Chains A and B, each alone.
Chain A
């Protein structure tokens, strides 16, 4: 147990082939990896957003298997087990989840699924296992929503992806309680590149929740996951991410959904951790009547740069999108929101709404809102609202005059500000988020 497999640091064809060999992959996957590597070597860096120069791609460990997969929590190495206990994963598994997968570094180490959910025909497997058991099904979807050539980090991801989850929900099946993936970056200097696919067949529904964390190391590391969601006709997929990476993590993700006719895709994102995040969950509204809601909540503290956004691409008539973001910025942190709605000529009757509000808690806090609303047809309704404010001294005095301490009053105001998003987050998480918000005010006043 606890035998480590780590390939040499840095990125090369040998490393990529090594990952593929380690996993015993089919030929097409190795080809996809090599094509991605080749693209990565020639695609440009993003021409917007945060400074990424601190990440040393040549010194990163791209594949680390630090923990062997187990069947029960008790078989995990003590340190990992303790971490998962503290995060409340075994408890959540017992009480609130239909299935749980937990990944440490590059590999999924634990997975379970409720028997009744499995009996409904739901597939919930680590990506590698799904690739072995259902190769054709995986091949049909893998990097089909986000191809490697999309951007620099989708190319990198295609070359070195490891771990993640494959979820497939059969036609008409409603998974009533959420499935969860938990991602832990444990080893210093190692990157994480998990790949998650959710396929909801016609008329089905599923809620997938992701949580992430890492111990703090001094050296910058890279997390570059990918999520692809395929919501077929009339299906409903909700994808919730609560990100609390430690402050040395560069969190550069790609998340994209394709919603077919009358399907609904909801993204709910809570961004708390990381040093730098670039995250723009996107829904392609491909079929008539498809809908998306994209709700983001960010809490940026000292030294953090959270470059967030949401995108809706309307390709069909009568589609609708609602992109809502609430950010709280403290210390010298920076929070950016890029809200993009694009309406293609054929998408007549499309409706798009972008709303972004930011609360600045300090004079040094920085924020930027960058809306892009494009319509290639006249028959659309697009609206955009943005507000930036500070905590109102009148509100603060009012609450204090009721006997609340300054800290209580501030955290009540901040919680109130983010409440439109918090109420969309499952209770266990929203309570945790409230607690994190309250904690962060301790010693932050003066």
Chain B
């Protein structure tokens, strides 16, 4: 059984059809990459999979560990083990990262003591000592936001982690920390989908499977060599 399957997904945004029949399957414990030029619908796919109300699914279905979640609200998807690391996580004033994670881990049945032990570990893991008690994303730099998203994934131990541009705006050291965390997530059994238009982070965590999204459809699918070819020659050449 696949960790996540999307079948023939049709998704619109503000009345315009963006995804026109996407098929995608993610495997437990593996790192996958979703690549594609800007505007090809990568973030739309991420939001639709996570259940964003402004990204309605018109056709097709989504299965999480074999269970259909196509029309579940976002919290129900999260509770079943789906996680989305946002490309642009919003600033939430007055809500502390720790508080959110305590609630979210509690909702998932993780014990309070377990959380008290793991939160500092996660903070060290992602080099977030200065941000651990801060308000959620408020005043975080681009790189800090990315690390905060990965910290949340690490704590929540999802079955499926969708990481939307996890390395954009991150310096070289930061990319290494993020790549190590991605590898750790996969090693612990999470099916990871790294969404990126620029394959830098993939040098550190070679994907087992690469999907290329163009004009609302998966145009190519292949092994790690596909990512390398795209890096060398760009999307157009590969397509040709």
Residue A413 interfacial (CB < 8 Å): yes
Which of A60-68, A153-161, A220-228, A400-408 lines the interface with chain B?
A: A400-408
Residue B51 interfacial (CB < 8 Å): yes
Chain A 381-421, CB-CB to B under 8 Å as 1, else 0, gives: 00000000000111101111111111011001101111110
Residue of A nearest to B55 (CB): A397
Residue of A nearest to B84 (CB): A401
A399–B94 touching, CB < 8 Å: no
Query: How far is it, in angstroms, between the C-alpha of A416 and the C-alpha of B135 when the chains are bound?
Result: 9
Contact for B94 among A392, A393, A405, A420, CB less than 8 A: A420
B95–A400 touching, CB < 8 Å: no
Query: How far is it, in angstroms, between the C-alpha of A175 and the C-alpha of B77 when the chains are bound?
Result: 53
Query: How far is it, in angstroms, between the C-alpha of A415 and the C-alpha of B152 when the chains are bound?
Result: 21
A399–B108 touching, CB < 8 Å: no
- Count contacts on B: residues with CB < 8 A to the other chain: 30
Query: How far is it, in angstroms, between the C-alpha of A419 and the C-alpha of B95 when the chains are bound?
Result: 8
A408–B103 touching, CB < 8 Å: yes
B156–A402 touching, CB < 8 Å: yes
Contact for B78 among A403, A412, A415, CB less than 8 A: A403
Residue B92 interfacial (CB < 8 Å): yes
Which B residues between 213 and 227 are near A, CB-CB below 8 angstroms? none
Interface centre among B50, B53, B54, B100, by most chain A C-beta atoms within 10 angstroms, is B100
Which B residues between 31 and 90 are near A, CB-CB below 8 angstroms? 50-54, 73-75, 77-79, 83-84, 86, 89-90
A402–B94 touching, CB < 8 Å: no
A413–B95 touching, CB < 8 Å: yes
A401–B135 touching, CB < 8 Å: no
List B contacts of A409 (CB < 8 A). Answer: 75
Contact for B107 among A394, A403, A418, A419, CB less than 8 A: A403
Residue B130 interfacial (CB < 8 Å): no
Given contacts A393-B54, A408-B103, A400 and B73 within 8 Å (CB-CB): yes
List A contacts of B156 (CB < 8 A). Answer: 402-403
B50–A402 touching, CB < 8 Å: no
List B contacts of A404 (CB < 8 A). Answer: 75, 100, 103-104, 107
List A contacts of B50 (CB < 8 A). Answer: 401
B78–A416 touching, CB < 8 Å: no
Query: How far is it, in angstroms, between the C-alpha of A158 and the C-alpha of B92 when the chains are bound?
Result: 47
Residue of B nearest to A392 (CB): B90
Given contacts A404-B103, A412-B95, A398 and B89 within 8 Å (CB-CB): yes
Residue B171 interfacial (CB < 8 Å): no
List A contacts of B89 (CB < 8 A). Answer: 398
B52–A413 touching, CB < 8 Å: no
Which B residues between 162 and 179 are near A, CB-CB below 8 angstroms? none
Query: How far is it, in angstroms, between the C-alpha of A401 and the C-alpha of B164 when the chains are bound?
Result: 14
A400–B74 touching, CB < 8 Å: yes
Contact for B75 among A400, A412, A416, CB less than 8 A: A400
Given contacts A397-B52, A412-B100, A416-B135, A403 and B92 within 8 Å (CB-CB): no
Residue B114 interfacial (CB < 8 Å): no
Query: How far is it, in angstroms, between the C-alpha of A392 and the C-alpha of B135 when the chains are bound?
Result: 16
Given contacts A398-B90, A401-B78, A403-B79, A416 and B95 within 8 Å (CB-CB): yes
Query: How far is it, in angstroms, between the C-alpha of A325 and the C-alpha of B92 when the chains are bound?
Result: 19
Contact for A395 among B53, B78, B90, CB less than 8 A: B90
Query: How far is it, in angstroms, between the C-alpha of A409 and the C-alpha of B52 when the chains are bound?
Result: 14
Residue B117 interfacial (CB < 8 Å): no
B93–A417 touching, CB < 8 Å: yes
Chain B 100-120, CB-CB to A under 8 Å as 1, else 0, gives: 110110011000000000000
Query: How far is it, in angstroms, between the C-alpha of A415 and the C-alpha of B103 when the chains are bound?
Result: 14
List B contacts of A406 (CB < 8 A). Answer: 73, 75
Contact for B92 among A400, A405, A416, A418, CB less than 8 A: A416
List B contacts of A399 (CB < 8 A). Answer: 92, 95, 100
Query: How far is it, in angstroms, between the C-alpha of A403 and the C-alpha of B54 when the chains are bound?
Result: 18
Q: How far is the CB of B108 from chain A (nearest CB, A)?
A: 6
Given contacts A401-B50, A402-B78, A395 and B104 within 8 Å (CB-CB): no
Residue of A nearest to B104 (CB): A402
A400–B78 touching, CB < 8 Å: yes
List B contacts of A408 (CB < 8 A). Answer: 103, 107
Query: How far is it, in angstroms, between the C-alpha of A405 and the C-alpha of B107 when the chains are bound?
Result: 9
Which B residues between 121 and 172 are near A, CB-CB below 8 angstroms? 135, 152, 156
A401–B74 touching, CB < 8 Å: yes
Chain A 405-442, CB-CB to B under 8 Å as 1, else 0, gives: 11011001101111110000000000000000000000
Interface centre among B83, B92, B152, by most chain A C-beta atoms within 10 angstroms, is B92
Given contacts A397-B53, A399-B100, A415 and B74 within 8 Å (CB-CB): no
Query: How far is it, in angstroms, between the C-alpha of A418 and the C-alpha of B93 when the chains are bound?
Result: 9
What are the nearest 8 A-B pairs in CB distance? A416-B94, A419-B94, A403-B78, A416-B95, A402-B104, A400-B74, A400-B75, A394-B90
Can you list 29 A-B pairs with a CB-CB distance of less than 8 A?
A393-B54, A394-B90, A397-B52, A397-B53, A398-B86, A398-B90, A398-B92, A400-B78, A401-B50, A401-B75, A401-B78, A401-B83, A402-B156, A403-B75, A403-B78, A403-B156, A404-B100, A404-B103, A404-B107, A405-B75, A406-B75, A408-B103, A412-B95, A413-B95, A416-B93, A416-B95, A416-B135, A417-B94, A419-B93
Apart from A401-B83, A416-B135, list 6 A-B contacts with CB within 8 A. Answer: A397-B52, A399-B95, A400-B73, A415-B94, A418-B94, A419-B94
